[in-house]
Amino acid sequence: MAQDPTVPKLNFEYWLDKAIEWGQATTLESQKDVCLHLSQLQEFLHQLYEAIKHLGPTVVIQQFPLIGQLLGRLCWNPFVIGYDESQKTLMWCLCCLYSSEPQNAVELKANSWVRSLLCHLLSSSKWESNEAETSAFISALGYTSADYYCHLVKNMVVSLVRELRENQFNGLNIQESISASRVNAVSIFCVPLITLPDLAPLLETLLLYHGGSSKEILSSEFLESVNEAFLKKKISLPESVVFSLWLRHLPSLEKATLHLLDQVLSIQLNSLEEVACVIKDSLLPQAASHPAIFRIINEIFKSALMETDGTSEVLTVIQVFTQLFLQDHQNENKQHKFPLKAYFPYHHQPLVRRLVRRPFELPTTYWSEHVKHISDMVKALVEDTNASSLTDLFEIWFLVACFGEWLDIAAEQLLKAAVEPDPVLWLLAFYYCPKNENQQRTQTVVEAQAVYSHLMMLFNCADLSLKDLEAAVHRVMGTEQCCNQQFTTHLLTNFLLFSPGGHKIAQECIYHITEITDTSKEVHNLLIRTAHRFNHSGEENQRTVKLLNELLQKLTLKV
């Protein structure tokens, strides 16, 4: 067969050099190096197999004369054989070198060599003297090497687990404690075996193991690999073990949080329940019951917000995360529950206490008062000349943003209840436009008041047309400041949902806005959040619910 030019150039020499360098992986450096390259090697072996699977053995050797050296060396490296699916691919490659009709001495020799290697991998090999006796004994009992190695691995795991557990309680007795280097070594040897189900008890025991020293004794390769396997759902671990992993290895926690953000942002989620499901599965809200974890996750969220310029999807993740965290925290019956201050140490505690009250905990008649209190407190904090640095401002804004439910309720209350509009408008203006160096926020408030008055005038009109709302719509489209755009869109959307006359023109109006501006994502997001609230608190007006669902359907198709 002619050489296929479309086959990608395999980095054969590189891997052969590596295999020679590693040998049988007897030194610590070689072991760590193998661990770092395991997944790339697996990928390479797969590509190699794809390249040779349709070729005859002689052609394979012509194209890759050193393939025997490579495969042979890798077969003696237990890290490679123990990893994931590498042993399968390696054996398939070996089978490709086996001829069913050997024509010459070379092929005969290759056949014999392939069989010896396969025996080495699967049963007893002539190269290992101590295996011969054992395999004779096992055969005499009527068992196979499959049974033997199953038991052997289980036993080794059990005895290592016992050793580690016993040592936990003897942590104070320095003489009897296992040396840190031993535990470190065990963790390195486990790296290829993480997805092997037999190892699960050992993984869990290692992750929960605390020796006497304050330094981390588990190898970082091990911690990273376990985290990877967990995030890719290749293994499942009990919650306490996952929390332990994240508490002792910061990069794993960061990766897990970023992975969650990626997940939520990459798929189109159509309801808040779906978002909540994904976030709950990640175990991050549950882990956040440890204040240290909570604060680190929030720092990552803050960075994500700044990088994406405060996009509404990230905000939604943060808000749902906070809700789930609170639910978990309040449901816990643990005696040593951490106080709220541990999670929000640098914030004004009365404000925190108000924000963490879930809306359904208060009767709806108190909601406006509650929002007013929040608004007053935030205003006081923000306008305090001592706390006017940009960082402080951001921190306050972030705190309020985490509890976005109250903001949504505030906006709703503006249109549904008889409230004093100014504090509410101020709070929403602060949310959409926190900075005020050039009086942007003040302007936003003024704008908002104008829009609000206009909308309130139209509130009880039965027969509305798009023209009546034109002034408001123009504001949405015409402003340069996008924060005003978002704020106005929010007010407008709420108006359409909750005013009796707004229902008829709702679809037309929203279609119009989202066509012209870039706000379809924000509107979609707002509608999802409103739908979620309706499901939980129950919206009495059936027409509103129906309208909401229709709007969502239309928008979902578009977005």
Partner 1 sequence: MDAVLRQVEQLPALLAVSRSAQVRDWDCLTLDRALEWARYFQHLHHRFRARPQLREALGRRLRRSQPLPLLGFPALGRCPQLLGLALLENRALPPAACRCLLRGLLPPPGEGSGCDPRGLALLARRKAAARLLALVPGPEGQLQAEARLLLGRLREEGQEAAEAAGQLPWLRAALEQLPQPRACGVVAAALALLPQGCGTEQAGDTDRAAGSSQGGYQAGAAGDGCAAGLLLSWLLGDQERFSAFCLCLPSSQLAFLAGHYSQLSRSYLDLLTSWGSRLVYDPLQGRWVKSCLDKAELSWEELRERFICLCQGPALLREQTQAALELLRTRDGDFKVRGLSVWTDLLMEVGY
Give the interface with partner 1 as residue ranges (CB under 8 A): 53, 78-82, 85, 87-88, 91-92, 95, 98-102, 111-112, 115, 118-119, 121-124, 133-134, 136-153, 155-157, 159-160, 163, 182, 185-186, 189-190, 192-193, 196, 198-199
The type of residue at 19 is A
The DSSP result for 202-246, as a single string, is HHHHHHT---SSSS--S-HHHHHHHHHHHHTTSS---HHHHHHHH
- The answer for residues whose C-beta is within 8 angstroms of residue 469's C-beta and 6 or more apart is 458, 492, 505, 509
| Minimal distance, residue 218 CB to partner 1, in Å | 14
Q: Among residues 107 and 522, whose Cβ is nearest to partner 1?
A: 107
Residue closest to 339 by CA, chosen among 354, 351, 350, 329: 329
Q: Which amino acid is at 241?
A: V
User: Minimum CB separation from partner 1 for residue 430, in Å?
Assistant: 56
Contact 449, 426 (CB under 8 A): no
**Integer distance in angstroms from the first to the last C-alpha of the chain?**
51
The least CB distance from residue 92 to partner 1, in Å, is 5
Q: Judged by CB, which is closer to partner 1: 153, or 300?
A: 153
CA-to-CA separations, 263 to 68, 195, 427, in angstroms, rounded = 42, 22, 31
What DSSP element (H or E) covers 148? helix 145-169
- What's the min distance (Å) between Cβ of 37 and partner 1? 16
Residue 10 has φ and ψ, to the nearest 5°, of -85, 145
Smallest distance, Å, CB 70 to partner 1? 17
Exposure letters 379-415 (e unless 16+ CB within 10 A, then b): eebbeeeeeeeeeebbbbbbbbbbbbbbbbbbbbbbb
Query: Where do we find the tokens 């707002």?
Result: 526
- Min. distance of Cβ 125 from partner 1 in angstroms? 10
CB of 392 to partner 1, least distance (A): 52
- For partner 1, the closer CB: 41 or 190: 190
Angle between helices 180-189 and 200-207 (to 10 degrees): 140
Angle of helix 67-75 relative to helix 105-122, nearest 10 degrees, comes to 20
Query: Helices 28-52 & 67-75, crossing angle to 10 degrees?
Result: 130
Least distance between partner 1 and beta carbon 136 (Å): 4
Q: Which residue, 87 or 514, has its beta carbon nearer to partner 1?
A: 87
Q: Closer CB to partner 1, residue 76 or residue 459?
A: 76
Residue 19: Cβ within 10 Å count: 22
- Provide the CA 218 distance to its chain's centre, in angstroms: 23
CB nearer to partner 1: pick between 125 and 263 = 125
In the complex with partner 1, which residue's Cβ is closer, 25 or 377?
Answer: 25
Residue 57 Cβ vs partner 1, minimum distance, rounded to whole Å: 10
Given the complex with partner 1, which of 57 and 285 has the nearer CB atom? 57
Q: What is the closest distance, in whole angstroms, from the C-beta atom of residue 197 to partner 1 in the complex?
A: 9
- Select 160 or 217, whichever has its Cβ closest to partner 1: 160
Helix or strand holding residue 250 (H, E): helix 250-266
Between 31 and 517, CB nearer to partner 1: 31
